[in-house]
A and B are shown apart, each in its own frame.
Chain A
């Protein structure tokens, strides 16, 4: 059974940094692209970043480019989101999500974690 469990959320001051983690189990982690998707309180979903299964390709939304970095550790089956220079508007629940297709980067998400709340105080 696929399981994605996020951790690392919390309260941070504007301008600070935070690192989110996502523990993945139940599938061949290195063969699926993974994404982070966020949701501000009471708002809609916003895609943040994606990393290919190999880890060689990464892409991110314009809103976080240059501040957030996505990475993965295959030996630990972990996905990460390093968030620097945080702003109040980054306050959101951050979900890790698994790409649907084996070996591809399709940006279609069929498994989601429960989310980690990040609050950036100004």
Chain B
């Protein structure tokens, strides 16, 4: 198995860009997904296969993955983006989530 490391928290001002990182050994060789979870709600997939957005996810959400780090970038951050964000990767038989990053928009 493998570990994915995320910073516990991140603060950003409205309208600014938020970059949430996810680190793991040779993470660039795996496919990474990102999930947004608002308080009391189920997770929502916002990025899959490193940089693909599911239907309905705003273009403000973008992903990248290279080397040992994957990054979720949220442009023009809005109050509605405030949530916990989790990265996730998998090998053939195991899925692993990062510890999560709480994004605060203030």
Q: State the majority secondary structure of interface residues on B.
A: strand
- CB atoms of B45 and A109 under 8 A apart: yes
Q: What are 22 A-B pairs with beta-carbon distances under 8 A?
A: A35-B95, A44-B84, A44-B99, A44-B100, A45-B35, A45-B37, A45-B86, A45-B88, A45-B100, A47-B94, A47-B95, A59-B94, A61-B94, A62-B1, A95-B42, A95-B43, A100-B45, A107-B95, A108-B31, A108-B49, A109-B88, A113-B42
Decide yes or no: A110 and B42 within 8 Å by CB, A44-B97, A45-B35, A50-B95 being known contacts: no
* A77 on the B face (CB < 8 A): no
Hey, what's the 0/1 contact readout for A13-49 against B, CB within 8 Å counting as 1?
0000000000000000000000101000000111100
Considering only CB atoms and an 8 Å cut-off, how many residues of chain B contact the other chain?
24
- Which residues of B have CB within 8 Å of A100? 45, 48
